[in-house]
Amino acid sequence: MAKIIKPSLQVEKIRQTWQEIYENNESEALEKLLRILRDFTQKHDIYQDLPDWHRDVVLYSLYVDLFSENFPKLTSRLDYFETLGINCLWLLPILDSPMRDGGFDIRQYDGVRRDLLGLSEDATEEEVRQVFQTFLDEAHKRNIRVIFDVALNHTSDEHRWFQEAKSNPESPYRDYYIWSKTTEKYKDARLLFKGMEDSNWEKLGDEYYFHRFYAFQPDLNYRNPEVTIQMCRNFLHWLRQGVDGFRLDAIPFLWKEEGTDCENLPKTHSLIKLIRAVVESVRPSTLLLAEACQPPHEVVRYFGDEDECHAAYHFPLMPQIFKALAKQVKHPIINILKPENTPKIPDSCQWFIFLRNHDELTLEMVSDEDRKLLNEYYLKDPRWGFRIDEGISARLANLMDEDPQFIGLAFSIMFTMGGTPIIYYGDEFGKLNDEGFYEEMSQQTGYEDTRFFGRGKIKWDETEHELKFADSYTSRVFRGVQKQIHVRNQYSAFGRGKIEWIDVQDDNDQVRDEILAYYLTYENEKLCILQNLSRKDVIVKLPFWYASSWDGTDLMYLKLHWHTSDNCIIMPPRSFYWFDMNK
């Protein structure tokens, strides 16, 4: 990464978006924000990266404590990520928190949790800062970027702002949150945590405060410009240390308006535009990743005119991948990616694709028919149910029957869908649900949150022992995923390519719907992907010509099984092949 000349402040963009949010009010607050930015850019040099680096990486998401206990130990495991082929780490919540919601209940925005630092209680602030700085520097030496979560919508009820607000109704921090004498306000806002909370309002003294998630996570009041300024300060703090980007948690809910469902409102988008203008004034290559569990036509709005988020999760694709695997047909995946279901996005933006993330196999945005089908196929233990049939809390390996071939097929689909893939920690070697962690956290938090099944610590002694044996379940899963990543890193088409679907025929010229096949093209690269979703052998005609000198293997050196019919192969159950059409 090369140092660059300081970028110019996007003053006009900041003024414009501020006007959209606060109209003709709060001009003094705006000038305060601009002064903060001017002072920052004058004092600090910030390192720059390629502006669209996020389109070519494989993300690996992890909880620092569950993966390796603390940052010094995570630093010592950076070679593991290099070996696997990972080039971007997404650190699940690391900011100071009482950890009642996995760290999404933030107690302090400009500090890492002390238990992640491996330091004594009497460590100095400089020692605290240096631990995370060392990790960042060592990751960057290996060309591994680092992003982490920032929950913008709410804080912990232990945050200093809320402590001040609840102890003194006259405190200026009272207006950092949303209060009401009754629970009648924002009645159209849906209850997100059905089965765990029965209201969006929580009584405190003579008033109620508003929350969209757990009651211990009061929502912030962005009508107060000081909240916006403080949040911008927090981003600047981490950019100074060298963080490469931020996952913006729960952003559809930032702005509230009476008479609306309080989701995806215009001023929410203006807030995101403002944040982007602020961070780009300091480091234009900063990634902003939208966590917006919404239909694609709503999610694409968070790209704005290439002036909001750079990337967003394709939430609806994930359950359709699982549906296609359950039904053993390609149509669910192709249908969800049609333009009427997945609108075109700006060229500089990207879909982030995942099989599992830190939560559940979400079924919130599928039809009742699909929800029934997916629950019947994948809910193998009723305890995995989340939010009254709206999710399944299980690890990928549990969902894939602990079958390395099935797991490999799922990864093949994710790695070749033309977006940026995300690996959830441990999935690369087939980590299973953690019963003990679920019991421990349920007792600790008082919430029987089934998402705890999919978390849990990595038992490195056991894992590393199993990885030594080529035929072990752990090793077979790991080597298969590693091979796919290393091939993927050699071709830009995997992250940037255009998909062209292929109807693959068998030796009787019949289209086989069990075969998910497509070309990926980008500039002078053209790849062909063949994937058998079924649990049986399928005879298929290769959709391309091959030279007589071809050795009959694909990019992963998998040997093809030839059929007696001309140009036909036998695809074993759940097999997959990747081909370079230019070789």
| CA 228 centroid distance within chain | 24
Coil/strand/helix, residue 97: coil
Calculate Rg over the CA atoms of the chain.
24
Tell me the backbone φ, ψ of residue 323, rounded to 5 degrees: -65, -45
Spatial contact of 50 and 4, defined as CB atoms under 8 Å apart: no
249 included as an active-site residue:
yes
How many CA atoms, within 13 angstroms, populate the side-chain half-sphere of residue 266?
7
Query: Which of 291, 308, 359, 360 is flagged as catalytic?
Result: 291
Contacts of 27 (CB under 8 A, 6+ apart): none
DSSP assignment of 304-347 equals TTTTS-SEEE-TTHHHHHHHHHHHT-SHHHHHHTSTTTS----T
Distance CA 306, CA 349 (A): 7
Q: Are 216 and 105 a contacting pair, CB within 8 Å? A: yes
Closest-CA residue to 565 (of 507, 505, 515) = 507
Strand pairing report for 2-3 and 47-48: antiparallel
Which runs of E-coded beta strand occur in 236-327?
245-249, 287-290, 311-313
Question: Is 244 annotated as catalytic?
Answer: no
φ/ψ of residue 424, rounded to 5 = -85, 130
Point out the catalytic residue in the list 149, 202, 249, 449. 249
Take residue 540 and report the two structure tokens written for it.
Answer: 């298929």
Phi/psi for 368 (5° steps) reads: -60, -35
CA atoms within 13 A on the CB side of 546: 18
What is the token pair recorded at 33? 């924000």
Diameter of the chain by CA atoms?
84
Q: Please, which residues have CB within 8 angstroms of residue 178's CB and are 6 or more apart in sequence?
A: 209, 210, 218, 219, 221, 256
Classify residue 551 by its DSSP letter: -
Q: Write the burial class of residue 233 (CB in 10 Å: 0-12 exposed, 13-18 middle, 19+ buried).
A: middle
Whole-angstrom distance, CA of residue 442 vs CA of residue 16:
46
Q: Is 57 helix (H, G, I), strand (E, B) or coil?
A: coil
Q: HSE on the CB side for 232, CA within 13 Å?
A: 29
Nearest 5°: the CA angle 482, 483, 488 is 95
Catalytic residues: 249, 291
